[in-house]
Structure 1
Amino acid sequence: MSTSRRPQQERSVATRERLLEAAFTCLLEGGYGATTVGHVQQQAGVARGTLLHHFPTRSALMGAVVEDVVERRLELLTTARDDDPAPASWDDVVDLVWRELQSPAFAVALELWVAARTDDDLRAALLPLQERIYRTVHRGVTRLVGADHPRSPMLVQFTIDLLTGAHLAGILSPRAGTSDVVDAWKVALRELATSDQSDVRRL
Protein backbone atom coordinates (compact mmCIF):
# COMPACT_ATOMS: atom_id res chain seq x y z
CA MET A 1 0.00 0.00 0.00
CA SER A 2 1.34 3.42 -0.94
CA THR A 3 2.18 5.89 1.79
CA SER A 4 -0.21 8.41 0.21
CA ARG A 5 -3.19 6.07 0.50
CA ARG A 6 -2.53 5.22 4.16
CA PRO A 7 -3.07 8.76 5.50
CA GLN A 8 -6.19 9.03 3.34
CA GLN A 9 -7.61 5.82 4.81
CA GLU A 10 -6.66 6.94 8.31
CA ARG A 11 -8.50 10.22 7.75
CA SER A 12 -11.52 8.31 6.51
CA VAL A 13 -11.54 6.10 9.60
CA ALA A 14 -11.13 9.14 11.86
CA THR A 15 -14.01 10.93 10.12
CA ARG A 16 -16.25 7.89 10.50
CA GLU A 17 -15.44 7.67 14.20
CA ARG A 18 -16.15 11.40 14.60
CA LEU A 19 -19.55 10.96 12.96
CA LEU A 20 -20.42 8.01 15.19
CA GLU A 21 -19.35 9.95 18.27
CA ALA A 22 -21.47 12.91 17.17
CA ALA A 23 -24.51 10.70 16.54
CA PHE A 24 -24.07 9.01 19.92
CA THR A 25 -23.91 12.38 21.66
CA CYS A 26 -26.98 13.66 19.81
CA LEU A 27 -28.98 10.55 20.71
CA LEU A 28 -27.93 10.74 24.33
CA GLU A 29 -28.64 14.43 24.74
CA GLY A 30 -31.64 15.00 22.48
CA GLY A 31 -33.13 11.62 21.66
CA TYR A 32 -33.89 10.01 18.31
CA GLY A 33 -36.32 12.67 17.14
CA ALA A 34 -33.69 15.41 17.45
CA THR A 35 -30.90 13.35 15.92
CA THR A 36 -31.28 14.45 12.32
CA VAL A 37 -28.61 14.13 9.65
CA GLY A 38 -28.13 17.88 9.81
CA HIS A 39 -27.72 17.87 13.58
CA VAL A 40 -25.12 15.10 13.44
CA GLN A 41 -23.31 16.88 10.62
CA GLN A 42 -23.16 20.07 12.68
CA GLN A 43 -22.07 18.23 15.82
CA ALA A 44 -19.27 16.45 13.92
CA GLY A 45 -18.18 19.58 12.06
CA VAL A 46 -18.15 17.97 8.61
CA ALA A 47 -19.76 18.72 5.26
CA ARG A 48 -23.08 17.07 4.47
CA GLY A 49 -21.51 15.25 1.54
CA THR A 50 -18.88 13.78 3.84
CA LEU A 51 -21.54 12.40 6.17
CA LEU A 52 -23.55 10.94 3.29
CA HIS A 53 -20.40 9.35 1.85
CA HIS A 54 -20.00 7.32 5.04
CA PHE A 55 -23.69 6.86 5.85
CA PRO A 56 -26.06 7.31 2.88
CA THR A 57 -29.17 7.25 5.08
CA ARG A 58 -30.10 8.19 8.62
CA SER A 59 -30.99 4.56 9.33
CA ALA A 60 -27.55 3.39 8.17
CA LEU A 61 -25.98 5.88 10.59
CA MET A 62 -28.17 4.70 13.46
CA GLY A 63 -27.35 1.06 12.73
CA ALA A 64 -23.64 1.91 12.80
CA VAL A 65 -24.12 3.58 16.19
CA VAL A 66 -25.55 0.33 17.55
CA GLU A 67 -22.61 -1.62 16.14
CA ASP A 68 -20.30 0.86 17.81
CA VAL A 69 -22.11 0.33 21.11
CA VAL A 70 -21.55 -3.42 20.80
CA GLU A 71 -17.90 -3.13 19.81
CA ARG A 72 -16.62 -0.40 22.11
CA ARG A 73 -19.01 0.94 24.70
CA LEU A 74 -20.51 -1.90 26.68
CA GLU A 75 -18.07 -2.49 29.50
CA LEU A 76 -19.17 -6.06 30.08
CA LEU A 77 -18.04 -6.93 26.55
CA THR A 78 -14.48 -5.89 27.35
CA THR A 79 -14.26 -7.20 30.91
CA ALA A 80 -15.89 -10.59 30.33
CA ARG A 81 -13.07 -12.00 28.25
CA ASP A 82 -11.91 -15.54 27.69
CA ASP A 83 -8.62 -14.79 29.42
CA ASP A 84 -10.20 -13.42 32.60
CA PRO A 85 -8.81 -15.22 35.63
CA ALA A 86 -11.12 -16.58 38.33
CA PRO A 87 -14.89 -16.60 37.76
CA ALA A 88 -16.80 -13.73 39.31
CA SER A 89 -19.41 -14.19 42.00
CA TRP A 90 -23.10 -13.99 41.18
CA ASP A 91 -23.24 -10.76 43.18
CA ASP A 92 -20.60 -9.34 40.84
CA VAL A 93 -22.70 -10.35 37.84
CA VAL A 94 -25.78 -8.57 39.22
CA ASP A 95 -23.74 -5.44 39.95
CA LEU A 96 -22.21 -5.46 36.47
CA VAL A 97 -25.51 -5.88 34.63
CA TRP A 98 -27.20 -3.25 36.80
CA ARG A 99 -24.38 -0.78 36.15
CA GLU A 100 -24.48 -1.36 32.40
CA LEU A 101 -28.25 -0.82 32.30
CA GLN A 102 -27.66 2.66 33.70
CA SER A 103 -24.86 3.49 31.27
CA PRO A 104 -25.06 5.98 28.36
CA ALA A 105 -24.62 3.04 25.97
CA PHE A 106 -27.83 1.40 27.14
CA ALA A 107 -29.70 4.71 27.06
CA VAL A 108 -28.73 5.23 23.41
CA ALA A 109 -29.57 1.64 22.44
CA LEU A 110 -32.95 1.93 24.16
CA GLU A 111 -33.65 5.19 22.34
CA LEU A 112 -33.10 3.48 19.00
CA TRP A 113 -35.03 0.31 19.83
CA VAL A 114 -38.11 2.28 20.90
CA ALA A 115 -37.93 4.44 17.77
CA ALA A 116 -37.62 1.32 15.58
CA ARG A 117 -41.06 0.11 16.67
CA THR A 118 -42.70 2.64 14.35
CA ASP A 119 -39.86 3.36 11.89
CA ASP A 120 -39.67 0.66 9.23
CA ASP A 121 -36.31 1.76 7.83
CA LEU A 122 -34.71 1.91 11.26
CA ARG A 123 -36.17 -1.47 12.22
CA ALA A 124 -34.75 -3.01 9.07
CA ALA A 125 -31.32 -1.58 9.94
CA LEU A 126 -31.43 -2.82 13.54
CA LEU A 127 -32.94 -6.28 13.13
CA PRO A 128 -29.71 -7.90 11.87
CA LEU A 129 -27.92 -6.51 14.93
CA GLN A 130 -30.48 -7.52 17.54
CA GLU A 131 -29.56 -11.17 17.98
CA ARG A 132 -25.87 -10.35 17.77
CA ILE A 133 -26.24 -7.93 20.67
CA TYR A 134 -28.21 -10.36 22.82
CA ARG A 135 -25.81 -13.22 22.08
CA THR A 136 -22.72 -11.15 22.80
CA VAL A 137 -24.04 -9.71 26.05
CA HIS A 138 -25.33 -13.08 27.24
CA ARG A 139 -22.07 -14.83 26.35
CA GLY A 140 -19.98 -12.13 28.00
CA VAL A 141 -21.87 -12.27 31.28
CA THR A 142 -21.93 -16.08 31.28
CA ARG A 143 -18.14 -16.13 31.00
CA LEU A 144 -17.90 -14.15 34.22
CA VAL A 145 -19.36 -16.95 36.30
CA GLY A 146 -17.95 -19.81 34.28
CA ALA A 147 -19.76 -21.34 31.35
CA ASP A 148 -19.37 -24.83 32.86
CA HIS A 149 -21.93 -24.07 35.58
CA PRO A 150 -25.01 -26.10 34.50
CA ARG A 151 -27.39 -23.25 35.20
CA SER A 152 -25.33 -20.32 33.93
CA PRO A 153 -27.27 -19.63 30.71
CA MET A 154 -30.67 -19.60 32.39
CA LEU A 155 -29.57 -17.70 35.50
CA VAL A 156 -27.83 -15.08 33.38
CA GLN A 157 -31.00 -14.70 31.30
CA PHE A 158 -33.10 -14.36 34.46
CA THR A 159 -30.70 -11.68 35.70
CA ILE A 160 -30.69 -9.66 32.48
CA ASP A 161 -34.48 -9.81 32.09
CA LEU A 162 -35.34 -9.04 35.70
CA LEU A 163 -32.89 -6.15 36.05
CA THR A 164 -33.86 -4.70 32.66
CA GLY A 165 -37.49 -4.66 33.77
CA ALA A 166 -36.59 -3.06 37.11
CA HIS A 167 -34.56 -0.39 35.35
CA LEU A 168 -37.22 0.42 32.76
CA ALA A 169 -39.91 0.66 35.43
CA GLY A 170 -38.04 3.58 36.96
CA ILE A 171 -36.65 5.21 33.85
CA LEU A 172 -38.88 8.29 34.04
CA SER A 173 -38.65 8.66 37.80
CA PRO A 174 -36.71 6.53 40.30
CA ARG A 175 -38.95 4.04 42.09
CA ALA A 176 -38.72 3.43 45.80
CA GLY A 177 -37.57 -0.08 46.61
CA THR A 178 -35.66 -0.78 43.40
CA SER A 179 -32.38 -1.25 45.26
CA ASP A 180 -34.16 -3.75 47.54
CA VAL A 181 -35.26 -5.70 44.47
CA VAL A 182 -31.67 -5.84 43.22
CA ASP A 183 -30.41 -7.00 46.63
CA ALA A 184 -33.18 -9.59 46.92
CA TRP A 185 -32.29 -10.97 43.51
CA LYS A 186 -28.69 -11.42 44.63
CA VAL A 187 -29.89 -13.60 47.50
CA ALA A 188 -32.26 -15.57 45.28
CA LEU A 189 -29.60 -15.99 42.60
CA ARG A 190 -27.08 -17.43 45.04
CA GLU A 191 -29.66 -19.92 46.25
CA LEU A 192 -30.65 -20.93 42.73
CA ALA A 193 -27.00 -21.35 41.74
CA THR A 194 -26.16 -23.63 44.67
CA SER A 195 -29.39 -25.58 45.15
CA ASP A 196 -29.71 -29.31 44.52
CA GLN A 197 -28.41 -30.01 41.02
CA SER A 198 -31.12 -32.62 40.54
CA ASP A 199 -33.50 -29.70 40.09
CA VAL A 200 -31.50 -28.20 37.21
CA ARG A 201 -33.91 -29.44 34.55
CA ARG A 202 -36.74 -27.49 36.16
CA LEU A 203 -35.02 -24.18 35.32
Structure 2
Amino acid sequence: MVATQRAQQQRALTTRARLLEATFEGLLEDGYAATTVGSVQARAGVARGTLLHHFPTRSALMAGVVEDIVERRLEVLDDSLPVDLSESASWDEVVDLVWRALRSPAYTAALELWVAARTDPDLREALVPLQQRIFAAVHRSVTLLVGADHPQAAMLVQFTIDLLTGSHLAGVLEPRLGTDRVVEAWKVALRTLAGAWGEGRAR
Protein backbone atom coordinates (compact mmCIF):
# COMPACT_ATOMS: atom_id res chain seq x y z
CA MET A 1 0.00 0.00 0.00
CA VAL A 2 2.76 2.44 0.93
CA ALA A 3 4.62 1.66 -2.29
CA THR A 4 1.44 2.24 -4.29
CA GLN A 5 0.83 5.60 -2.63
CA ARG A 6 4.40 6.66 -3.32
CA ALA A 7 4.07 5.65 -6.95
CA GLN A 8 0.85 7.66 -7.24
CA GLN A 9 2.46 10.69 -5.61
CA GLN A 10 5.42 10.46 -7.97
CA ARG A 11 3.13 10.24 -10.98
CA ALA A 12 1.23 13.29 -9.74
CA LEU A 13 4.46 15.26 -9.30
CA THR A 14 5.65 14.20 -12.75
CA THR A 15 2.37 15.26 -14.33
CA ARG A 16 2.42 18.61 -12.53
CA ALA A 17 5.98 19.25 -13.68
CA ARG A 18 4.99 18.38 -17.27
CA LEU A 19 2.10 20.84 -17.13
CA LEU A 20 4.31 23.62 -15.77
CA GLU A 21 6.97 22.97 -18.41
CA ALA A 22 4.34 23.02 -21.17
CA THR A 23 2.97 26.33 -19.85
CA PHE A 24 6.44 27.83 -19.56
CA GLU A 25 7.27 26.84 -23.14
CA GLY A 26 3.94 28.19 -24.35
CA LEU A 27 4.56 31.57 -22.74
CA LEU A 28 8.00 31.79 -24.33
CA GLU A 29 6.96 30.67 -27.79
CA ASP A 30 3.39 31.94 -28.15
CA GLY A 31 2.81 34.55 -25.44
CA TYR A 32 0.20 34.75 -22.72
CA ALA A 33 -2.91 35.19 -24.89
CA ALA A 34 -2.21 32.00 -26.84
CA THR A 35 -1.22 29.94 -23.81
CA THR A 36 -4.69 28.72 -22.97
CA VAL A 37 -5.73 25.74 -20.87
CA GLY A 38 -6.42 23.86 -24.11
CA SER A 39 -3.04 24.65 -25.63
CA VAL A 40 -1.22 23.58 -22.46
CA GLN A 41 -3.26 20.38 -22.33
CA ALA A 42 -2.29 19.57 -25.92
CA ARG A 43 1.36 20.48 -25.43
CA ALA A 44 1.62 18.39 -22.25
CA GLY A 45 -0.31 15.47 -23.75
CA VAL A 46 -2.71 15.04 -20.82
CA ALA A 47 -6.47 14.84 -20.44
CA ARG A 48 -8.32 18.05 -19.62
CA GLY A 49 -9.56 16.55 -16.37
CA THR A 50 -5.97 15.78 -15.37
CA LEU A 51 -4.93 19.37 -15.96
CA LEU A 52 -7.89 20.75 -14.02
CA HIS A 53 -7.17 18.38 -11.15
CA HIS A 54 -3.77 20.01 -10.68
CA PHE A 55 -4.76 23.55 -11.71
CA PRO A 56 -8.52 24.29 -11.46
CA THR A 57 -8.23 27.64 -13.26
CA ARG A 58 -5.97 29.27 -15.81
CA SER A 59 -4.86 31.79 -13.19
CA ALA A 60 -3.85 28.96 -10.86
CA LEU A 61 -1.82 27.43 -13.68
CA MET A 62 -0.05 30.72 -14.38
CA ALA A 63 0.62 31.30 -10.68
CA GLY A 64 2.13 27.81 -10.61
CA VAL A 65 4.48 28.76 -13.42
CA VAL A 66 5.65 31.86 -11.55
CA GLU A 67 6.23 29.80 -8.42
CA ASP A 68 8.22 27.33 -10.53
CA ILE A 69 10.27 30.22 -11.90
CA VAL A 70 10.99 31.39 -8.36
CA GLU A 71 11.94 27.91 -7.16
CA ARG A 72 14.02 26.67 -10.09
CA ARG A 73 14.73 29.06 -12.89
CA LEU A 74 16.03 32.41 -11.68
CA GLU A 75 19.79 32.33 -11.18
CA VAL A 76 19.64 35.37 -8.94
CA LEU A 77 17.57 33.32 -6.46
CA ASP A 78 19.77 30.23 -6.66
CA ASP A 79 20.94 29.19 -3.19
CA SER A 80 23.80 27.26 -4.81
CA LEU A 81 25.45 30.39 -6.23
CA PRO A 82 29.21 29.84 -5.81
CA VAL A 83 29.82 32.75 -3.49
CA ASP A 84 32.12 32.43 -0.48
CA LEU A 85 30.36 34.63 2.06
CA SER A 86 33.67 35.24 3.82
CA GLU A 87 34.49 37.34 0.75
CA SER A 88 31.55 39.26 -0.67
CA ALA A 89 31.01 39.57 -4.39
CA SER A 90 32.16 42.65 -6.26
CA TRP A 91 29.60 45.17 -7.39
CA ASP A 92 30.51 44.31 -11.00
CA GLU A 93 29.59 40.68 -10.35
CA VAL A 94 26.27 41.73 -8.88
CA VAL A 95 25.46 43.85 -11.95
CA ASP A 96 26.34 40.93 -14.23
CA LEU A 97 24.17 38.55 -12.22
CA VAL A 98 21.09 40.80 -12.28
CA TRP A 99 21.59 41.58 -15.99
CA ARG A 100 21.77 37.87 -16.86
CA ALA A 101 18.61 37.20 -14.86
CA LEU A 102 16.71 39.95 -16.69
CA ARG A 103 17.66 38.50 -20.09
CA SER A 104 16.87 34.91 -19.16
CA PRO A 105 13.92 32.86 -20.48
CA ALA A 106 12.59 32.78 -16.92
CA TYR A 107 12.23 36.55 -16.80
CA THR A 108 10.71 36.64 -20.30
CA ALA A 109 7.99 34.20 -19.26
CA ALA A 110 7.33 36.08 -16.02
CA LEU A 111 7.09 39.37 -17.92
CA GLU A 112 4.34 37.92 -20.12
CA LEU A 113 2.32 37.21 -16.98
CA TRP A 114 3.00 40.54 -15.25
CA VAL A 115 1.78 42.52 -18.27
CA ALA A 116 -1.34 40.36 -18.59
CA ALA A 117 -2.10 40.68 -14.87
CA ARG A 118 -2.51 44.45 -15.16
CA THR A 119 -5.96 43.95 -16.75
CA ASP A 120 -6.80 40.46 -15.44
CA PRO A 121 -8.07 40.68 -11.83
CA ASP A 122 -7.93 36.92 -11.18
CA LEU A 123 -4.39 36.64 -12.49
CA ARG A 124 -3.32 39.73 -10.57
CA GLU A 125 -4.74 38.33 -7.34
CA ALA A 126 -2.80 35.11 -7.89
CA LEU A 127 0.47 36.84 -8.77
CA VAL A 128 0.68 39.66 -6.21
CA PRO A 129 1.86 37.40 -3.33
CA LEU A 130 4.40 35.76 -5.62
CA GLN A 131 5.57 39.16 -6.88
CA GLN A 132 6.22 40.26 -3.31
CA ARG A 133 8.11 37.04 -2.67
CA ILE A 134 10.26 37.48 -5.79
CA PHE A 135 11.14 41.11 -5.04
CA ALA A 136 12.02 40.31 -1.44
CA ALA A 137 14.04 37.24 -2.39
CA VAL A 138 15.98 39.00 -5.16
CA HIS A 139 16.79 41.90 -2.88
CA ARG A 140 17.85 39.57 -0.06
CA SER A 141 19.98 37.39 -2.34
CA VAL A 142 21.82 40.26 -3.98
CA THR A 143 22.34 42.08 -0.68
CA LEU A 144 23.80 38.89 0.73
CA LEU A 145 26.27 38.77 -2.14
CA VAL A 146 27.59 42.28 -1.61
CA GLY A 147 27.62 42.11 2.17
CA ALA A 148 24.76 43.40 4.24
CA ASP A 149 27.09 45.39 6.47
CA HIS A 150 27.63 47.98 3.75
CA PRO A 151 25.78 51.05 5.09
CA GLN A 152 23.91 51.61 1.81
CA ALA A 153 23.72 48.04 0.49
CA ALA A 154 19.93 47.99 0.29
CA MET A 155 19.76 51.28 -1.61
CA LEU A 156 22.55 50.36 -4.04
CA VAL A 157 20.94 47.00 -4.75
CA GLN A 158 17.60 48.71 -5.40
CA PHE A 159 19.27 51.21 -7.73
CA THR A 160 20.85 48.34 -9.65
CA ILE A 161 17.66 46.31 -10.00
CA ASP A 162 15.56 49.31 -11.06
CA LEU A 163 18.05 50.74 -13.54
CA LEU A 164 18.81 47.43 -15.21
CA THR A 165 15.14 46.47 -15.34
CA GLY A 166 14.34 49.73 -17.11
CA SER A 167 17.22 49.28 -19.55
CA HIS A 168 16.06 45.78 -20.37
CA LEU A 169 12.39 46.70 -20.84
CA ALA A 170 13.33 49.57 -23.17
CA GLY A 171 14.80 47.00 -25.55
CA VAL A 172 12.17 44.26 -25.36
CA LEU A 173 10.53 45.05 -28.71
CA GLU A 174 13.75 45.92 -30.50
CA PRO A 175 17.34 45.80 -29.25
CA ARG A 176 18.67 49.25 -28.43
CA LEU A 177 22.14 50.33 -29.44
CA GLY A 178 24.25 51.35 -26.50
CA THR A 179 22.54 49.26 -23.82
CA ASP A 180 25.72 47.32 -23.08
CA ARG A 181 27.53 50.63 -22.59
CA VAL A 182 24.84 51.71 -20.13
CA VAL A 183 25.40 48.52 -18.13
CA GLU A 184 29.17 49.05 -18.09
CA ALA A 185 28.73 52.71 -17.15
CA TRP A 186 26.51 51.70 -14.25
CA LYS A 187 29.27 49.43 -12.95
CA VAL A 188 31.58 52.42 -12.79
CA ALA A 189 28.94 54.63 -11.18
CA LEU A 190 28.01 51.91 -8.69
CA ARG A 191 31.60 51.43 -7.57
CA THR A 192 31.88 55.19 -7.12
CA LEU A 193 28.69 55.38 -5.08
CA ALA A 194 29.68 52.37 -2.98
CA GLY A 195 33.00 53.99 -2.16
CA ALA A 196 31.50 57.41 -1.46
CA TRP A 197 28.85 55.98 0.86
CA GLY A 198 31.18 53.74 2.81
CA GLU A 199 32.52 50.70 1.09
CA GLY A 200 32.10 48.13 3.85
CA ARG A 201 32.57 44.58 2.58
CA ALA A 202 31.69 45.32 -1.06
CA ARG A 203 34.73 45.85 -3.26
- TM-score bracket, normalised by the shorter chain, equals over 0.9
Q: What does the per-residue CA deviation read over 1:109-165, in whole Å, with 9 as the maximum and x for residues that have no partner?
A: 100000001111111111121111100011111111111111111100000000000
1:143-158 alignment runs, 5 A limit: 143-158=144-159
5+ residue gaps, structure 2, are 199-203
Instruction: Determine the structure 1 residue equivalent to 2:73.
Output: 73
Instruction: Determine the structure 1 residue equivalent to 2:20.
Output: 20
Q: Is the 8 A contact 2:83 2:145 kept in 1?
A: no
5+ residue gaps, structure 1, are 198-203
| CA distance in structure 1 between the partners assigned to 2:129 and 2:89 by the alignment | 31
| CA distance in structure 2 between the partners assigned to 1:155 and 1:80 by the alignment | 23
| CA distance in structure 2 between the partners assigned to 1:33 and 1:84 by the alignment | 43
How far 1:84 moved relative to its partner? 3.7
State the SS of the aligned residue for 1:173: coil
How far 1:57 moved relative to its partner? 0.3
| CA distance in structure 1 between the partners assigned to 2:58 and 2:8 by the alignment | 25
1:83-162 alignment runs, 5 A limit: 84-85=84-85, 86-162=87-163
Identity within the alignment, %: 69
| CA distance in structure 2 between the partners assigned to 1:12 and 1:115 by the alignment | 29
Q: What does the per-residue CA deviation read over 1:5-29, in whole Å, with 9 as the maximum and x for residues that have no partner?
A: 0000010011001100000000010
The one-letter code of the counterpart of 1:145 is: V
| CA distance in structure 2 between the partners assigned to 1:81 and 1:147 by the alignment | 17
Q: Is the 8 A contact 1:81 1:140 kept in 2?
A: no
Q: What does the per-residue CA deviation read over 1:54-99, in whole Å, with 9 as the maximum and x for residues that have no partner?
A: 0000000000100000010001111576974421100000011111
Q: What does the per-residue CA deviation read over 1:27-69, in whole Å, with 9 as the maximum and x for residues that have no partner?
A: 0100000000010001111110000000000000000100000
The one-letter code of the counterpart of 1:183 is: E
CA gap of 1:196–1:56, structure 2 versus 1, over 3 A, is: closer
- Over the residues paired in the alignment, what is the CA RMSD in angstroms? 1.5
* 4+ aligned runs moved over 3 Å, structure 1: 79-85
The one-letter code of the counterpart of 1:29 is: E
Instruction: Determine the structure 2 residue equivalent to 1:191.
Output: 192
Q: Is the 8 A contact 1:82 1:143 kept in 2?
A: no
| CA distance in structure 2 between the partners assigned to 1:82 and 1:176 by the alignment | 32
Q: Is the 8 A contact 2:69 2:106 kept in 1?
A: yes
State the SS of the aligned residue for 2:164: helix
TM-score of the two chains, using structure 2 as the length reference: 0.93
Q: What does the per-residue CA deviation read over 1:153-201, in whole Å, with 9 as the maximum and x for residues that have no partner?
A: 110000000000000001111111111111110000001111154xxxx
Q: Is the 8 A contact 1:90 1:186 kept in 2?
A: yes
